[in-house]
Amino acid sequence: MTVALSGCGSSGDGDVTLKFVAADYDPEGGDSTKQYWEGVATAFEAENKGIKVDVSVYDWKDVDREVAEMVEAGDAPDIAQIGAYADYAAEGRLYPVNDLLSIPVQANLLAPLAEAGEVGRMAYGIPFVASTRLLFYNKTLFTQAGLEPPKSWDGIESAAKALKERGVKYPFALPLGKEEAQAETMMWMLSNGGGYTDSVGTYTIDSPQNVEAFDWLKDTLVGEQLTGPVAPGKLDRKPAFTAFANGEVGMLNGHPSLLQQAAKKGVKVGMVPLPGPDGKARSSMGVADWMMGFKQNGHGRQIGKFLDFAYNDENVLEFADQYDLLPVTVSASETMAEDPAHKELWPFLEALSESTLYPVGKTSWAKVSENIKKQIGAVVTPNGDPTGTLGAIGREAAATENAE
């Protein structure tokens, strides 16, 4: 692979080992993500003598914290593939994308995702993979119960009640545990016309729409015992997905990689957009995970070489294929959209252009997201207080924002 490179970084042509920390995407908890990156690293090293890549992979529950601790200890990785970048960019720790990626690779990134990687109109975060979220339902359980896919919150409630009567373990799995509570939270906010921020980017975490959504979850889905044996605040995404793949879940909010996991176990999956109170929600949630290069070791030139290699179509499509995720480059997306082998992913690709992403460009987002993970599960408990807790999270978000 021949690439044009910008000459950044202080290192010369001596041997360099890049420290690369990545998130684990294996839904089964295996080592397939590490195998993928080690394969990319081996192929890269064969073409780039003098540059080694040392790969470490951490569970999503831990990876953001692990990188934060490395940075705090003065031992930042050269490359991190994690959930947020803006706080590091604001601290001046990251290379601008212009200093890393060649112009052809930059131009090939999907524009809405590339723009979401900006802080102060300068791009620091490189989208890695994307996904959108849809409401998944077990077709077999729905057929047995004579149910149609839900088109409103009332439809979710009535379907969940029917599934519960038939002994389904999790009529509606609601993972508000720490693994990815910020995602489940945002989906329900969006379904009621709310969200984390307003149109100008101000936090609106305790908006009436958001409070109403969590009042409904607390009083209806959880209050009527329609969410299964594990309290939502203690249920993480990974075990919820595993339960779905085991045929124990009637409905949950899922992303593309769950398709493959369910297919392996023979579960027939139906998918519809998560409905709102009276019909289709105004927006679905989109997620992009982020790649970034840290300045600390001065390896910008070598980082750029590796990332250009990692973002070629062969690598991008291999990773997207492996986990049923959406590619972030124009060329790979076009390939996927034209290939009938990826037909199951077309609804997710279609939803991506109109989806709402986390407010990742806000330097406060990483801390706010962690706070949501810690607190939101308590909102839907019997003694939960959606108004009070969302208000507290919102005030803390505003304080964090103002302190940046």
Q: Quote the CA–CA distance of 11 and 15 in Å, as a whole number.
A: 9
Do the domain assignments include residue 336?
yes
Give the pLDDT score at 7: 37
Question: Interior CA angle at 317 toward 315 and 321, to 5°?
Answer: 120
Phi, psi of 263 (to 5 degrees): -60, -35
Q: Quote the CA–CA distance of 363 and 360 in Å, as a whole number.
A: 8
67 and 188 in one domain?
no
Give the residue among 19, 249, 287 at the shortest CA–CA distance from 135: 249
Provide the residue range defining the domain that includes 304: 16-131+287-357
334 and 393 in one domain?
no
User: How many domains does the structure of the chain reveal?
Assistant: 2
Task: For residues 32-54, give the mean pLDDT.
Answer: 97
Pairing of strands 79-82, 285-293: antiparallel
146 and 99 in one domain?
no
219 and 345 in one domain?
no
Q: Write out the two tokens for 46.
A: 């064969």
371 and 343 in one domain?
no
Is the model's pLDDT at 4 over the cut of 80? no
Q: Quote the CA–CA distance of 14 and 320 in Å, as a whole number.
A: 34
223 and 201 in one domain?
yes
394 and 269 in one domain?
yes
pLDDT confidence band for 282 (50 / 70 / 90): confident
Please report, as a single letter, which amino acid is at residue 260.
Q
179 and 256 in one domain?
yes
Q: Quote the CA–CA distance of 226 and 283 in Å, as a whole number.
A: 25
Q: What are 95-143's pLDDT values in tens digits? A: 999 999 999 999 999 988 998 899 888 999 999 999 899 999 999 999 9
Do the domain assignments include residue 3?
no
- CA within 13 Å, CB half, 127: 30
CATH code, 153: 3.40.190.10
**pTM reported for the whole predicted model:** 0.78
pLDDT confidence band for 257 (50 / 70 / 90): confident
Give the residue among 386, 25, 24, 401 at the shortest CA–CA distance from 214: 386
Q: What are 327-357's pLDDT values in tens digits? A: 999 999 999 999 998 898 998 988 887 788 9
The distance of Cα 314 from the centroid of its chain, to the nearest Å, equals: 22
Q: What are 183-201's pLDDT values in tens digits? A: 999 999 999 999 999 988 8
- Mean of the per-residue pLDDT values of the chain: 92
DSSP 75-102: ---SEEEES--HHHHHTT-B--GGGTS-
140 and 126 in one domain?
no
The distance of Cα 308 from the centroid of its chain, to the nearest Å, equals: 22
Give the pLDDT score at 5: 36
Among the listed ranges 60-74, 278-292, 383-397, which one has the minimum average pLDDT value? 278-292
Cα of first residue to Cα of last residue in the chain, in angstroms, is: 41
